[in-house]
Amino acid sequence: MANGLYVHSEIGPLKKVCLHRPGEELLNLTPDDLERLLFDDIPFLEVAQAEHDKFAELLREQGVEVLYIEKLVAEALDAAGSREEFTQQWLDESGLKGKEARAAVKEYMDSIKDTKAFVDKCIAGLRKNEIDLPVRSSSTLSELVGADQDGETDLLVDPMPNTYFTRDPFAVVGRGVNLNHMFSVTRNRETLLGKYVFRDHPEYKDAPLWYRRDSAFHTEGGDVLNINAHTLAIGISQRTQAAAIDALAQNMFWGDNAEKCEITDIYAFNIPVSRAFMHLDTVFTQIDVDKFTIHPGIMGTLQVFRLTKGAAEGEVKIEELNDTLEHILEKATGVDAIKLIKCGGGDPVAAAREQWNDGSNTLAVAPGKICVYQRNSVTNDVLYKEGLDLIVVPSAELSRGRGGPRCMSMPFEREDI
């Protein structure tokens, strides 16, 4: 484990995990910006932080080392002396218009001496009334409109309110990382954080990249499930393109770091393009050696593709499999009898309500021991009766972001099963 990363399953005992504690970025959410920033509601920050702190505490009680992405980025920038480079790239991706506005924002950001506070502010965003813009901060009509569209309470630089869903910007696979190109401009800015951690942090800078954020096609970590050391499941979804999986397979089987990649089989699940099926982990999540939680809407015959390394240089073999989820998972895991546990216990009303609050989106800290949202009481009762050991996370405010315990976490290290 030379680079500090080691993840060969979804259920091996969790040793190290990366989180982000919700911060002032949630205070920069306004009703008019919710859709653009991918939120349905405005969480109450104080309560969301308390709930997240409890989540982290529960993980530590299970012997898990909790890392925070904002701290890792600060450590990486300090270690490599790359804060100036990071700042310039953050400005490039900030949506700022006008040289004067950019210069004013850079001067403000440079005035934040503590690197951790600087990273926090990059995530939080800036309001126009926080900075004294020069009277002539724009020299073209487009710059003038962009800099002065709605008055002092408007945002100058958008926040990154989804950062507490650390699952999506990158995904640890084996000893390497998928550094993603995300579906939306809003969220793709978050991948900049991962770029500097996996390039500059002393503990993680040697990690091979199976995918890069400057790739042409979009993919997200919620679509990636580590079935075992040699098998990966990926969703073809609203957020992950089939072409991205093609590129990932090329990198894993034939790329510059192919000799370091242990993956031999990639199962690509073609799932419906809708909010309810946003990522593969909203459809099913592994919770034990032979058990998965599932969205009831995924029952029936699925179209799945198995990608393996071909014989000729650069060749990837693709086999189409049309079968039930149960049978596909039995084939992928090598387990004879997989049990699928429906969100909401099969009740259509409960399933719809609790799927909205990520009832199928659980985080395993060990086989059969899983973190669940408190509010999904029907699903939790079913899981308890199936013999699962539940670690219950308070979720009144965290759930407003539409992501569960798995969405809020990125494992860096798991023990083998």
Buried b (16+ CB within 10 A) or exposed e, 114-148: ebbebbbbbbbbbbbeebebeeebbeeeebeebbb
Q: ∠ CA 110-188-40 to the nearest 5 degrees?
A: 105
Distance CA 273, CA 294 (A): 17
Q: ∠ CA 88-24-78 to the nearest 5 degrees?
A: 40
Pair of tokens at residue 390 = 């539940």
Pair of tokens at residue 186 = 């809003």
Residue 85 zone, left/alpha/beta (φ > 0; ψ -120 to 50; rest)? alpha
Note whether 404 and 361 are within 8 A (CB).
yes
Q: Return the number of other C-beta atoms located less than 10 Å from residue 271's C-beta.
A: 26
Catalytic residue ranges:
407
User: Where does 25-148 have alpha helices with state H?
Assistant: 45-61, 69-80, 83-92, 99-110, 115-124, 141-147
DSSP for 79-98 reads HHT-HHHHHHHHHHTTT--S
Which helix (H) or strand (E) segment holds residue 270: the answer is strand 265-270
DSSP state of 223: G
Q: Return the number of other C-beta atoms located less than 10 Å from residue 323's C-beta.
A: 14
Pair of tokens at residue 50 = 């308390």
Distance CA 360, CA 190 (A): 25
User: Where does 214-324 have alpha helices with state H?
Assistant: 242-254
Q: Return the number of other C-beta atoms located less than 10 Å from residue 31's C-beta.
A: 9
Distance CA 250, CA 50 (A): 43
Residue type at 331 in one-letter notation: K
Note whether 183 and 278 are within 8 A (CB).
no
